[in-house]
Structure 1
Amino acid sequence: MSVHSGRGGSPDVEKQMDVKTESITEDTEPQVSKPLMAVFSAGAVIAVFMASIQAVIPASFFVQAVAPWGVDTSSLWMLAAYLIGYVAFILPTQRLADIFGHFVTFWLGLILFVVFTGVAGHAATAYTFAVLRAFQGIGAGMVTSVCVQMAGAHVSERNRSLLVGALAAAQLFGIGAAHIVGGALAVDDKFRWSIYLAAPIAALPAILCTPALIKDMVIREHSESFVQRVLKFDGIGTLLLFGAAIMLTSGLTFGGNEHKWSSAIVLCLIVFGSLCVVLFLVWDSFGASRPIFNSRWLKERNLQISMLAVLLISMAFFANAVYVPIMYITVRHNTTDVAGRMTAPYWGVSMGAAVIAGLVIRIRPAVARPVAWAGLAIGAVFSGLYYTIETETTSLAKERAFYALAGLGVGLAYPAVLYMAQTSVPRNERGSAACVAHFLSVVGGMLGLILYQACLKSRLIINLDPIFSQSKFLTSFDIRAMDIAGLEVSGGTITMYVPDLAPKIGEGMTNALHTTFMLSVPFLGAALLATLLYKRSHH
């Protein structure tokens, strides 16, 4: 864990502690054996895949409107409920592991995840489903937090890039494959099994990670009693972070969907959520006896740049993997599983690129920066080119090729910036850095989903409202009050009853989709500009 300056430490003392921290090497720290870590890393990769696919999979049957709950409840809220619990417990789990140890914390999270997977899949209403999914997300956050923290702390420097590449590929695979798996089960009216399938998958991390966690219990040396560690738990920081996650996610989810952006409830949630973030950062830097963020990290330029890049890249790839299938669902009238297969080039190529990037960086660590630059440039350029293509009814080859190249860029850049984040801090803090990067990747995913859906709905309203006003039948639909899933599905249904307006409706929906998806270009472009400021040398 991090070495902290504490309250009121002098600059000389902090400098001496920094020097001492930087002198720590792999040989001076108690380590889990390499075979155990190899097995543990495999379990960590599966855990990240499991948590990622569960984050997105409800969208596959809510967009298709096959669930018994219909589309009267926001499909985005079904994702956000899980992600709130997920992201709110990633960082506090570091402190829980200080008290209970990695083994107990991991198994507590795994039990929560499996139990609420079962009860959420059996939920009778959409609102019950959302609440239970939040607890499922808490379990996922605890499990993945322990996995990435342990792996980042104990993996050898030689194999670090391989681990980072595998974890990045697992996250990309889980998010991208959700529409295929969930859509296929939804078509067969077995949508509940898209939730239930997480339980057997969870058995693999349990089997693979437990031996290393038991060994970690043996080698961990505690200089304090259990009671002392409990008393030093950063409860204030945890509550501030938890409150910020709930308020910001809720405000950004409700805004533009259930409530207007100018409504009092949305503004209050966003303002007070932002205030909690500021208070958390102030408390963590100056008041906490055991801060989650090490104050010295604020001076590490490469670390800060990497964390910003992780946030921006995840905003793009989460939203692309989730919402590009909507283009195939609405414009081409495909089912969700078919639409998911149409987007396989994006996440399939990005997976392979992530693994290749890890291998290349393992051979030559110095190429991490150029790999990040090349990936972000490729991703930004081909994302822009892909979204300017007019949809063709005869051939998908051109747009799928450009989509695959956009995925290539993301797959190269994502593990490279994750590697830079971990190697920008001293050896004994790399587990914490890995955990914070994972936290920001999920935060970025939430922001990407929220921004894309808000933009998509606003563009659909702007484009379809004038068309709907031309028909007496269509004026009965209140576009502004419709959930985004209803807007996505309504185009194909309405054209059956008003065929003369079908071309205009299709054109308006396509324009809304293309305009929305262009958001990935500024996201990846901003990440590229930030990474150009990397210093040549880092820890």
Structure 2
Amino acid sequence: MSSSKETVHESDTHESTDTHESTDGCTDTHEGTDKCTDTPESTDQCTDTQYLSGVSLLLTLSSCIVSLFIVALDQTIVSTILTTVGDEFNSFERVGWLTSGFMLPMACLVASYGKISIAFGRKTTLIGGIIIFEIGSLISALSTSMNMLIGGRVVQGVGGGAVQSMVMVILSESVAISRRSLVFASVAVVWSTSSVLGPIIGGALEKISWRWCFYINLPIGGASLAVLLFGYRPKSNTVNSVKERLQQIDYLGTILVSSGIVMVLLGMTLGGNEYAWDSAAIICLFVIGGVVCILFIVWNFKYSSHPIILGEFVKSVPIMASIISAMFNFGFFISNMTYLAIYFQVVKSASSFQSGIDLLPLVIAVTVSSLCNSIFIDITKNVKLTMIVSGVLSPIGTGLFLLMGKNTSLGVRIGIMVVSGVSIGLQFQSSLLSAQLEVDTPEALIMVTVFMNFMKNLGSTVSVTLAQLIFTQTGISYIKKVVSDDIPAETLISNPRTIHALPLEVQETILDQFVRALKNVFYFGLALGVVCFVASMFTTNKRIPKGEEKRGDDDRGEGEEGEEGEEGEEEEIKDRC
């Protein structure tokens, strides 16, 4: 390895001498090596992770951030080409699937990548995810029909889920928890900036060709892949054969959770649009999907020998509180970003490019608050305080969006977005760190990180789907009450740009109803913010260990003991393992 290792804990068993045994199977030596012992019951309890430094850390961080950036960018860049693509393929009624087709596999498959990465390694899983994402991008760019384009987006989503999960796992494993908040802040910056840059870049590329919104992923993803291949070099897992590794994956659980979630989300997406809510198709999707989800829960927690979701997580109030808080916080972040962009484009008549500029106050607030939070955590080691502050600001920030109207001034809009942005920025790293403080083993670190990403993806997908449902159904109802029958309300809601083609007095009437429908979405976001606030109160009270690991294979520092010696030693061992 080109970098110095502060701590080592992977699936390989390392020899050591003069050890002090701990209760979680990890042993610590005076010579600077750690050993994680495997038990007959679980050969994959420990996973191989090195704390990186110097050039190796820089290359690993760069490749991970770039990989995450193109995936995050792809969630919003498509919003600028929906009308163009719908017209080109004469299939405007299906453009919504360009977003749903990407988000569904991300939400469904993320949970399975934890076990896959334990069996085959984080680097291998991330490389596979990048390659799949690149293949999906190429399919989308070369599409000759709407079906082919939607298929390409699905492939992108499969790869994007792996990228998103593995980036967080690799970053968690590469940096000691005492320094992790600074690294996680970069993730917050990526998510927030990509949400704004997506429409801006997409609007610029659309002038050349909408296909360049997908071609752009190829060189960026290729560069990220090259840096990852040569810059990140974890130790290989040589303990288990390929057959043994394959046996560690819960195939039935993966099928059950994926199919169950897909059916429920399809019911939510298609209901009221392509099918009536009381139609046999929608009822079957909800009923069968619900039953399959219940079967997954029973299988995962009672029968599976390699569960996708560890039962200890569900039983832990602090872990579930952190995950629920992050899930709902990220949910209203994505839904609010989506409909704020619509607000600027329709109500304020902004272009896709200009709407991205208008969202900058929110992005800047997320970025600055996340960076300040990382410094605060690094100094105080206190995660609970920022979780509570974020929880308090969540319903306040979202509730302030209800003040947005046709004539809202620039200053008021900026103030509203700043409050919401601070809430989101404080949550990004705090929620994951809060959950990670509650786990003791390397495998649990991987699984809780993946579980957090799974729930955040599920939360964002469900929240956007519900927000779209609320906006569409109420918007159509409001508009039908104020316009004549010869003006199709469904078309005005599905393609709002057509509003500006109507006579001015009709536009004003419709925009009033449009704002009413948008406020219903913000009421929904307010409810999510309240749940986020309540959950934040039950997160862990533990602080990040103060001990700093020294650089070097044989010069690893000891963690500082707390006032109660045994408790301090246990926290130190947990941090190393």
TM-score normalised by L of structure 2? 0.82
The answer (yes or no) to whether the contact 2:134–2:156 under 8 Å persists in 1 is: yes
2:344 alignment partner in structure 1? 328
Distance 2:27 2:487 in 1: 67
Are 1:215 and 2:237 matched, yes or no? no
Distance 1:22 1:466 in 2: 68
- The amino acid of 2:402's aligned partner reads Y
SS in structure 2 of the partner of residue 260 of structure 1: coil
Given the superposition, is the C-alpha separation of residues 414 and 143 from structure 1 closer, same or farther in structure 2, using an over 3 Å criterion? closer
Distance 2:79 2:234 in 1: 39
State the 1:206 CA deviation: 1.4
1:453 alignment partner in structure 2? 468
1:243 alignment partner in structure 2? 259
SS in structure 2 of the partner of residue 468 of structure 1: coil
Q: How many residues in Structure 1 have an aligned counterpart in Structure 2?
A: 510
Structure 1: 5+ residue runs without aligned partners? 4-16, 470-474
Are 1:376 and 2:391 matched, yes or no? yes
State the 1:195 CA deviation: 1.9
The answer (yes or no) to whether the contact 1:80–1:249 under 8 Å persists in 2 is: no
The answer (yes or no) to whether the contact 1:116–1:133 under 8 Å persists in 2 is: yes
Are 1:124 and 2:144 matched, yes or no? yes
State the 1:97 CA deviation: 2.9
SS in structure 2 of the partner of residue 80 of structure 1: helix
Structure with higher Rg: it is 2
The answer (yes or no) to whether the contact 2:86–2:95 under 8 Å persists in 1 is: no
Given the superposition, is the C-alpha separation of residues 318 and 466 from structure 1 closer, same or farther in structure 2, using an over 3 Å criterion? same
1:159-198 to structure 2, matched below 5 A, reads 159-186=179-206, 188-198=207-217
1:53-202 to structure 2, matched below 5 A, reads 53-62=73-82, 68-69=88-89, 72-186=92-206, 188-202=207-221
Given the superposition, is the C-alpha separation of residues 275 and 467 from structure 1 closer, same or farther in structure 2, using an over 3 Å criterion? same
RMSD over aligned Cα atoms? 2.7
* 2:286 aligns with one of 263, 270, 277: 270
1:11 alignment partner in structure 2? none
Distance 2:225 2:98 in 1: 27
State the 1:221 CA deviation: 4.4
- The amino acid of 1:20's aligned partner reads D
The answer (yes or no) to whether the contact 1:71–1:483 under 8 Å persists in 2 is: no
The answer (yes or no) to whether the contact 2:135–2:155 under 8 Å persists in 1 is: no
1:280 alignment partner in structure 2? 296
Which protein has the bigger helix share? 1
Distance 1:485 1:143 in 2: 31
- The amino acid of 2:434's aligned partner reads M
2:402 alignment partner in structure 1? 387
Residues 269-318 of structure 1: CA distance to partner in whole angstroms, max 9, x if unpaired?
A: 22222222222222111211111222222222110111111110111011
Structure 2: 5+ residue runs without aligned partners? 1-8, 12-20, 37-47, 544-570, 572-577
2:459 alignment partner in structure 1? 444
* 1:396 aligns with one of 410, 424, 439: 410
Deviates more, 1:30-39 or 1:325-334: 30-39
Given the superposition, is the C-alpha separation of residues 24 and 280 from structure 1 closer, same or farther in structure 2, using an over 3 Å criterion? farther
Identity across matched positions, percent: 19
Given the superposition, is the C-alpha separation of residues 502 and 24 from structure 1 closer, same or farther in structure 2, using an over 3 Å criterion? farther
SS in structure 2 of the partner of residue 280 of structure 1: helix
Residues 75-102 of structure 1: CA distance to partner in whole angstroms, max 9, x if unpaired?
A: 4321110112223332222333344333
Distance 1:503 1:484 in 2: 15
Given the superposition, is the C-alpha separation of residues 260 and 356 from structure 1 closer, same or farther in structure 2, using an over 3 Å criterion? farther
State the 1:172 CA deviation: 2.4
Given the superposition, is the C-alpha separation of residues 415 and 103 from structure 1 closer, same or farther in structure 2, using an over 3 Å criterion? closer
- The amino acid of 1:520's aligned partner reads G
State the 1:321 CA deviation: 1.4
Distance 1:479 1:32 in 2: 58
- The amino acid of 2:478's aligned partner reads N
Residues 15-60 of structure 1: CA distance to partner in whole angstroms, max 9, x if unpaired?
A: xx99325878994465425123443233222222221111222122
2:515 alignment partner in structure 1? 510
SS in structure 1 of the partner of residue 110 of structure 2: coil
- The amino acid of 1:521's aligned partner reads L
Deviates more, 1:249-258 or 1:449-458: 249-258
- The amino acid of 2:82's aligned partner reads F
- The amino acid of 2:64's aligned partner reads A
